């Protein structure tokens, strides 16, 4: 038995054992532990990590002393007991450790807060600015290093990515590793013309879907930890339909084994979000019952209640389901999506995260070829309405390395504008904005909890593609407001001073302008 004596609050405690490597430890063995502190008692499954090693992980939510007791059938002694008929005498391993105060930058897991918004568990508001790099984690080391460097220099604080490799246009190569033991099909037969014929061709592969490749999962965990160090949430896509290896067409039993294994491994990392699927509706063999069963496994096996959602291609999943913590939306209309945040908030009563609203780029597909201006516009449209937008980049590249799937360097223009947006989001009083319907051509957010007040302490107005040369405002004659004019594209913020009553703000008659109005007394 090996374990740390100290771990920070919301850190990942791990205890490991040497045990039985014979047979199929993934299906024949179990390991489980109960962790007891003064304010919580949590029982979690552990997992087999290969080479005879078994591990249990735990994320403590309180400071102070914790005890733990591990049981299972993973040790040679247990087995020898079993073989002699002593089934109930399985060994129990005990220990204790100290949970210290969280280190700088550790605010705990992200929770939904104030109904439509998010905050870290320590109360720090979290304004999500997401991106998508589906299989950045399964790339070679140098590209992963590049991706982490790009993320470090960006203001992204959430990234969507997969556990399983991706088979799709621009994604015909092999991943760095596979999640299962076995031999994949020969990918040298694939071309840009024929690759779609190989979708779902489990029969061309020879994988054992009951034997995980622990190295694959250890690597995904390393990536999760790297993101954690950058303050980025790992929005883990557990299943997806772009598959030639049979990972998305496994049996019910194989699926459940996967879910339990991934939960035992990933749940103790505080920056994990569960995205049940990318484009759940495109998985050919999964039914609504399957998705609900996976959700039940998560709810049962993740004691930390990480955020949970499921992402659509065409029809939305019913985000009213109680296990869904927030909407993870792909736009349904070529023209409107960010503009519909108010409707989605009303329909689902939950945080609205627009994970796919078309990517900046120039590929042939309509979901990946808008300009940096247009994507930035959609970000602001979304944010001002109290939603949380998501980015992706799909610029053609001679090496077929596109940020949306591979990570690597960022080529676009929109990502540079998100630091300002995040700053402005962070400046709103309280936690989060609510859409405010002042006039038909005002796109305006006000503090969520001031929605009913006649005069708000804050108005964030965005003019999108409109180009007013001035706008008039009319408040009461007492309240004084500070007015800033924001060029969201040129990234300038200009303080225009304080105003009250009826006043006029001159604007440059350009697209993509915003006005921030803050009550000063």
**Interface contacts to a second copy, rule CB under 8 A:** 334-336, 339, 361-367, 369-371, 374, 396, 440-442, 465-472, 509, 511
CB of 218 to a second copy, least distance (A): 38
**What single DSSP character describes residue 380?**
H
Nearest-angstrom CA–CA distance, 79 and 88 = 11
CB of 345 to a second copy, least distance (A): 18
Q: Which of 162, 220, 215, 209 is closest to 184 using CA atoms?
A: 209
Q: 519 has which bridge partners? A: 481
Nearer to a second copy (CB atom), residue 109 or residue 361 = 361
Nearer to a second copy (CB atom), residue 281 or residue 442 = 442
Nearest-angstrom CA–CA distance, 389 and 415 = 12
* Segments in 196-338 forming alpha helices (H): 214-229, 252-266, 288-301
Nearer to a second copy (CB atom), residue 409 or residue 468 = 468
CB of 172 to a second copy, least distance (A): 17
Nearer to a second copy (CB atom), residue 264 or residue 354 = 354
Nearest-angstrom CA–CA distance, 317 and 46 = 31
Nearer to a second copy (CB atom), residue 339 or residue 482 = 339
CB of 335 to a second copy, least distance (A): 5
CB of 410 to a second copy, least distance (A): 17
Residue reference for tokens 């997969």: 162
Nearer to a second copy (CB atom), residue 186 or residue 477 = 477
Q: Which of 313, 465, 486 is closest to 374 using CA atoms?
A: 465
Nearer to a second copy (CB atom), residue 158 or residue 378 = 378
Nearer to a second copy (CB atom), residue 144 or residue 341 = 341
Q: Go through 288-308 and write b for each residue having 16 or more CB atoms within 10 A of its CB, e for each that does not.
A: eebbeebbebbeeebbbebbb
Q: 122: helix, coil or strand?
A: coil
CB of 268 to a second copy, least distance (A): 41
Q: Which of 468, 119, 507 is closest to 326 using CA atoms?
A: 119
CB of 139 to a second copy, least distance (A): 23
SS3 content of the chain, % helix, strand, coil (to 5): 25, 30, 45
- Look up residue 407 and give its two tokens: 């990570």
Q: Which of 415, 408, 409, 510 is closest to 469 using CA atoms?
A: 510
Distances (CA, A) of 499 to 94, 202, 506: 66, 67, 13
For residue 89, the tally of other CB atoms under 10 A from its CB is 12
**What single DSSP character describes residue 260?**
H
CB of 98 to a second copy, least distance (A): 56
Nearer to a second copy (CB atom), residue 339 or residue 487 = 339
CB of 441 to a second copy, least distance (A): 2
Nearer to a second copy (CB atom), residue 18 or residue 397 = 397
Is the CB of residue 494 less than 8 Å from the CB of residue 454? no
CB of 233 to a second copy, least distance (A): 30
CB of 509 to a second copy, least distance (A): 3
Nearest-angstrom CA–CA distance, 435 and 383 = 9
Nearer to a second copy (CB atom), residue 184 or residue 468 = 468
Nearer to a second copy (CB atom), residue 320 or residue 332 = 332
Which value, in Å, is the radius of gyration of the alpha carbons in the chain?
25
Roughly how many angstroms between the first and final C-alpha of the chain, as a whole number?
62
Q: 481 has which bridge partners? A: 499, 519
CB of 131 to a second copy, least distance (A): 19
Q: Go through 172-184 and write b for each residue having 16 or more CB atoms within 10 A of its CB, e for each that does not.
A: bbebbebbbbeeb
């Amino acid at each position: 038995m090996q374990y740390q004596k100290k771990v920070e609050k919301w850190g990942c405690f791990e205890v490991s054992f040497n045990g039985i490597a014979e047979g199929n430890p993934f299906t024949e063995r179990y390991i489980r532990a109960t962790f007891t502190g003064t304010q919580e008692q949590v029982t979690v499954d552990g997992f087999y990590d290969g080479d005879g090693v078994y591990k249990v992980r735990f994320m403590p939510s309180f400071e102070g002393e914790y005890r733990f007791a591990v049981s299972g059938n993973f040790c040679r002694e247990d087995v020898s007991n079993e073989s002699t008929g002593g089934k109930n005498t399985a060994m129990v391993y005990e220990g204790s450790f100290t949970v210290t105060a969280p280190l700088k930058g550790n605010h705990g897991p992200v929770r939904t807060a104030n109904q439509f918004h998010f905050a870290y568990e320590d109360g720090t508001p979290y304004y999500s600015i997401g991106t998508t790099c589906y299989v950045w984690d399964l790339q070679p080391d140098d590209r992963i290093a590049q991706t982490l460097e790009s993320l470090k220099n960006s203001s992204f604080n959430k990234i969507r990515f997969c556990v399983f490799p991706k088979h799709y246009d621009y994604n015909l190569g092999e991943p760095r590793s596979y999640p299962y033991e076995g031999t994949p099909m020969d990918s040298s037969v694939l071309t840009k013309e024929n690759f779609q014929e190989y979708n779902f061709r489990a029969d061309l592969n020879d994988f054992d879907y009951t034997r995980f490749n622990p190295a694959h999962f250890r690597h995904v965990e390393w990536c999760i930890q790297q993101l954690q160090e950058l303050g980025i949430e790992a929005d883990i896509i557990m299943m997806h339909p772009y598959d030639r290896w049979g990972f998305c067409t496994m049996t019910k039993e194989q699926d459940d084994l996967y879910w339990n294994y991934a939960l035992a491994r990933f749940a103790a990392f505080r920056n994990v979000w569960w995205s049940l699927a990318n484009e759940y509706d495109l998985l050919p063999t999964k039914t609504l019952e399957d998705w609900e069963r996976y959700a039940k496994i998560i709810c049962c096996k993740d004691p930390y209640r990480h955020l949970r959602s499921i992402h659509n291609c065409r029809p939305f999943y019913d985000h009213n389901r109680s296990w869904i913590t927030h909407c993870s939306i792909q736009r349904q209309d070529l023209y409107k999506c960010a503009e519909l945040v108010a409707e989605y908030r009303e329909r689902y009563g939950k945080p609205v995260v627009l994970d796919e609203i078309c990517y900046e780029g120039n590929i042939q597909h309509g979901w990946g070829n808008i300009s940096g201006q247009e994507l930035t516009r959609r970000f602001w449209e979304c944010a001002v309405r109290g939603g949380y937008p998501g980015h992706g980049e799909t610029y053609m590249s001679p090496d077929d390395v596109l940020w949306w799937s591979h990570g690597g360097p960022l080529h676009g223009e929109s990502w540079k504008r998100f630091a300002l947006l995040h700053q402005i989001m962070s400046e709103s009083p309280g936690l989060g904005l609510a859409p405010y319907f002042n006039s038909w051509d005002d796109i305006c957010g006000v503090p969520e909890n001031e929605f009913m007040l006649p005069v708000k302490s804050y108005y964030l107005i965005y003019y999108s593609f409109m180009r007013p040369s001035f706008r008039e405002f009319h408040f009461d004659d007492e309240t004084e407001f500070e007015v800033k004019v924001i060029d969201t594209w040129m990234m300038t913020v200009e303080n225009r001073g304080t105003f009250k009553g009826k006043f006029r703000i001159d604007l440059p008659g350009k697209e993509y302008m915003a006005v921030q109005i803050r009550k000063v007394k």
